[in-house]
């Protein structure tokens, strides 16, 4: 009789504990949803077009939260599979490929870019710039060539870009390796160097070495026809349409120089890999960890990895990257010590996704300190 009573008691205890655990899990889910909903409220459209896709990675689990419209005219809501222009968040794909090649002894961060882009061997100061400097925004190159060649009109073709690079001269405030100077031009040049090293177009290289192995089937450059139907319409800050879905814009005009497109579902996979939570992809994760590691100290509250920003956030560190064009605002960030990460994709320009992403990470970490404000506020602003 005692043994039967003991068994019944144990069953009751197990049932109660299971119910409590389940309730705790539900509560955690509710809290994440409440935190995300509260923090993204300022960037939800009050009128006009646009929406927000959010992916949260926490304790090995991913949740998706979607708000607003991917395309107002088509009454198409934002989903986890809506495809957004990543803007400068796409830079971390190039630097991850670079880190992977370094880890596999296929090249070195100290290699001069002119070693691979041989047209630059006819230049001057450009021959002093290394791949590592391109990837860490310490090359000294301007944000865009027009800041140096103020007379140039229109976009840059490849011959235009080579002419600019070969004529470029360093100066006291832009010496290679000596200072932080955010540069879209440097990152585009890094793509070309990788293409030359592996004799493969950047889009194909990205697919072969990174997005293909990770199963990121909605990430591409440029966006192919079969994915265009899921591309969001981009809107300006006031909610007016800008361009067409899947449109590439910007300073440069040759194949592979435009923006990368992706979905929050794909970027959640990329986020999980950067948090080293995909055990079947250890070599890629090792490359990602290498890319995250600081290589240049800007100041006490900002260090640079290979495109990644490292910022102190109370009792932990946030590693992140942001992007923003007139019709898109993007953010990916994570706190490795807390196993928390966030992706925010907005199909409207100038929406401060960086600050909101850091607020979400802080709230999920239950850290009472102020989220950091250091880093590039508007990285794609030409």
57-68 confidence digits (pLDDT tens): 999 999 999 999
Question: What pLDDT shows up at residue 345?
Answer: 98
- 303 and 296 Cβ atoms separated by less than 8 Å: yes
pLDDT score at 368: 84
Res 14: pLDDT? 37
CA 165/CA 136 separation, integer angstroms:
18
CA distance 360 to 31: 11
pLDDT at position 2 over 50 = no
* Across 16-20, 26-30, 176-180, 341-345, least confident range: 16-20
Q: Which residues of 110-130 are buried (b: 16+ CB within 10 A; e: fewer)?
A: ebbbbbbbebbeebebbbbbb
| Model confidence at 7: pLDDT above 80 | no
Show the CA angle centred on residue 311, arms to residues 381 and 342, nearest 5°: 75
pLDDT class of 370 with cuts at 50, 70, 90: confident
User: For residue 166, which phi and psi values (nearest 5 degrees)?
Assistant: -70, -25
Phi and psi at residue 263, to the nearest 5°: -110, 165
The pLDDT of residue 300: 93
| Secondary structure, 3-state, the chain | CHHHHHHHHHHHHHHHHHHHHHHHHHHHHHHHHHHHHHHHHHHCCCCCCCEEEEEEEECCEEEEEEEEEEECCCCEECCCCCEEECHHHHHHHHHHHHHHHHHCCCCCCCCEHHHCCHHHHHCCHHHHCEHHHHHCCCCCCCCCHHHCCCCCCCCECHHHHHHHHHHCCCCCCCCCCCCCCCCHHHHHHHHHHHHHHHCCCHHHHHHHHHHHHHCCCCCECCCCHHHHCCECCCECCCCCECCCCCCCCCCECCCCCCCCEEEHHHHHHHHHHHCCCCHHHHHHHHHHHHHHCCCEEEECCEEECCCCEEEEECCEEEEEEEEEECCEEEEEEEECCCCEEEEEEECECCCCHHHHHHHHHHHHHCCCCCCCCCCCCCCCCC
Whether residue 15 is predicted with pLDDT greater than 90 in this model: the reply is: no
Residue bearing the bigger pLDDT, 88 or 2: 88
pLDDT band at 380 (very low <50, low <70, confident <90, very high): low
Inter-CA distances, 357 with 21, 111, 183, 198, 321, Å: 28, 35, 23, 35, 10
Average pLDDT along the chain? 91
Q: How far is CA 53 from CA 66, 70, 314, 353, 354, in A?
A: 5, 9, 27, 11, 14
Report how far residue 260's alpha carbon sits from residue 255's, in angstroms, rounded to the nearest whole number. Answer: 12
pLDDT in tens, 237-284: 989 999 999 998 889 999 999 999 999 999 999 999 999 999 999 999
Residue 4 has pLDDT above 80, yes or no: no
Mean pLDDT of 56-80: 97
* pTM to 2 decimal places: 0.91
Give me 132's structure tokens.
């590592």
Written as six digits, the tokens of 133 are 């400097």
pLDDT at residue 16 greater than cutoff 90: no
pLDDT in tens, 143-177: 999 999 999 999 999 999 999 999 999 999 899 99
Reference 262, options 211, 304, 335; nearest CA is 211
The encoded tokens of residue 86 equal 């990543």
d(CA 150, CA 169): 14
Q: How many CA atoms lie within 13 A of 88 on its CB side?
A: 32
**pLDDT of 382 above 80:** no
């Amino acid at each position: 009789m005692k043994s039967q009573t003991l068994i019944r008691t144990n069953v009751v205890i197990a049932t109660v504990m299971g119910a409590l655990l389940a309730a705790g899990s539900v509560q955690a889910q509710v809290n994440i949803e409440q935190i995300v909903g509260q923090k993204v409220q300022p960037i939800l459209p009050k009128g006009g077009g646009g929406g927000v896709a959010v992916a949260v990675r926490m304790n090995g689990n991913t949740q998706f939260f979607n708000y607003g419209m991917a395309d107002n005219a088509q009454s198409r809501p934002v989903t986890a599979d809506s495809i957004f222009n990543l803007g400068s968040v796409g830079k971390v794909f190039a630097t991850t490929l670079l880190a992977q090649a370094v880890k596999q002894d296929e090249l070195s961060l100290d290699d001069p870019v002119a070693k691979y882009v041989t047209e630059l061997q006819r230049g001057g100061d450009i021959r002093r710039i290394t791949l590592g400097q391109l990837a860490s925004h310490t090359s000294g190159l301007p944000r865009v060539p027009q800041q140096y060649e103020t007379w140039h009109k229109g976009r840059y073709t490849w011959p235009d870009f080579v002419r600019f690079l070969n004529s470029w001269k360093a100066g006291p405030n832009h010496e290679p390796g000596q200072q932080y100077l955010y540069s879209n031009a440097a990152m585009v040049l890094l793509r070309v160097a990788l293409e030359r090293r592996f004799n493969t177009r950047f889009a194909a290289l990205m697919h072969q070495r990174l997005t293909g192995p990770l199963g990121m089937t909605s990430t591409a450059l440029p966006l192919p026809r079969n994915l265009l139907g899921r591309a969001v319409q981009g809107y300006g800050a006031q909610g007016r349409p800008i361009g067409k879905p899947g449109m590439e814009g910007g300073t440069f005009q040759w194949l592979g120089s435009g923006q990368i497109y992706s979905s929050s579902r794909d970027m959640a996979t990329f986020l999980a890999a950067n948090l080293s939570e995909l055990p079947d992809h250890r070599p890629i994760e090792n490359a990602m960890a290498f890319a995250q590691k600081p290589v240049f100290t800007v100041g006490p509250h900002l260090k640079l990895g290979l495109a990644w920003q490292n910022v102190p956030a109370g009792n932990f560190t946030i590693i992140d990257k942001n992007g923003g064009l007139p019709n898109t605002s993007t953010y990916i960030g994570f706190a490795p010590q807390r196993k928390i990460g966030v992706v925010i994709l907005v199909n409207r320009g100038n929406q401060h996704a960086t600050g909101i992403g850091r607020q979400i990470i802080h709230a999920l970490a239950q850290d009472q300190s102020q989220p950091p404000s250091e880093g590039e506020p508007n990285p794609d602003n030409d």
